[in-house]
Amino acid sequence: MFYFFLRRLSVMVPTLLVISILIFVIIQLPPGDYLSTLISELQAQGEDVDQEKLNFLRQRYGLDRPVVEQYALWMKGIFMYGDFGYSFEHNLPVVDVVGDQVFLSIIIAFTTILFTWIVSFPIGVYSATHQYSAADHTLTFIGFLGLATPNFLLALILMYLANVYFGISIGGLMEPHFLDQPWSWDKAVSIAEHLWVPVIVIGTAGTATLIRRLRANLLDELQKPYVNTARAKGLSETRLLLKYPMRVALNPFIADIGNLLPQLLSSAAIVSVVLSLPTTGPLLLRALQSQDMYLAGFLLMCLSLLTVIGMFLSDLALAALDPRIRLTGIRQK
């Protein structure tokens, strides 16, 4: 177990290094840089640009240097000073830009995951145990409907209805006057009022997939002889279901934890953009669009780090929970 642990950890470092190179290269691939994007954006709005100032900035930010050199400087900053670079757009060190957003992203993602699980577990189990019943068909139909509806469209419609009928302000995660205020009970209530739209919107698709997977997994297990044996021995239906097939059917969910961690940060970027949520998704999108490369790089590095850690954790959890997984596989070869 310890070996396994160590090996997985040591693989993470080169993985992250390779990812960082990829990220940097891909961010640099589109033509131009932050400043040229800035110019065209200002000009498209009919504003004029100070050419001298731009040349000056280009020099200061080192945008006129070759990519390799820029990458080296970035890495040097991270390893030597813990400096992840500077956001051109916000005029701040990137670490300072990503603040509240992380917290709100985590709230949304966490609520959404909770919502998804609470809705889909009972439905999944029910439709597996009552396969092809009327209720199974109805629930499946609704699930597919959720899967097939484009998220952003649902978001727009719900947002409009919420505004017209409940008077909830359009977009955002709280009423405007709570923005940038210290935390208070009223602010939390306001967030709760606004939270349901994004949670439902982001959750619908996830719910449907989860239901389908749980149903399929369970059905597989329910056919197996050990279920019959247990039933023959007189185990009650509920106890039987929860204790054996359910446990096996859960394996894919544990393997999924690896994906959950990065989701906490990047939760549903498109929906967040449509709903104007102050989360990291839109921040990342903006940074990529305006080629604010250090900010984009920082966010992407965070996501990769979380993915790698998440994978590591789910491997550990699987190894611990599923007795069929042997850690010794490779060494036996």
87, containing H or E segment: strand 86-87
Q: What minimum distance in Å lies between the beta carbon of 32 and other proteins? A: 4
Q: Please, what is the minimum distance in Å from the beta carbon of residue 191 to other proteins? A: 13
Residue with Cβ nearer other proteins (91 or 332): 91
Question: Which whole-number Å values give the CA distances from 316 to 9, 53, 81, 268, in the listed order?
Answer: 11, 53, 32, 27
Other residues' Cβ atoms within 10 Å of the Cβ of residue 12: 14
> Residue 86 pairs with which residues in a beta bridge?
93
Q: Least CB distance from residue 24 to other proteins, whole Å?
A: 19
Identity of the residue, 40 or 236, whose beta carbon is nearer to other proteins in the bound complex: 40
Helix (H) or strand (E) holding 93: strand 92-93
Task: Please say which residue, 198 or 278, places its beta carbon nearer to other proteins.
Answer: 278
CB of 165 to other proteins, least distance (A): 12
Residue (53 or 224) nearer to other proteins, CB: 53
Q: Is there a contact between 300 and 280 (Cβ–Cβ < 8 Å)? A: no
* Helix orientation angle between 2-28 and 67-76, rounded to the nearest 10 degrees: 140
Looking up tokens 């757009």, which residue turns up?
Answer: 89
Q: How far is the CB of 224 from other proteins (least distance, A)?
A: 51
The residues binding other proteins (CB under 8 A) are 30-32, 36-37, 39-41, 43-48, 50-52, 55-56, 59-60, 81, 83, 86, 89-93, 96-97, 99, 159-160, 163-164, 169-172, 176, 179-180, 273-276, 278, 282, 286
Number of C-beta neighbours around residue 324 at 10 A: 7
21: its two tokens: 């190179």
| CA–CA separation, 55 and 37 (whole Å) | 14
Question: Closer to other proteins at the Cβ: 37 or 207?
Answer: 37
In angstroms, what is the minimal distance from the CB of 189 to other proteins? 18
* Separation CA 104–CA 264 (nearest Å): 10
Q: Which is nearer to other proteins, 283 or 311 (CB)?
A: 283
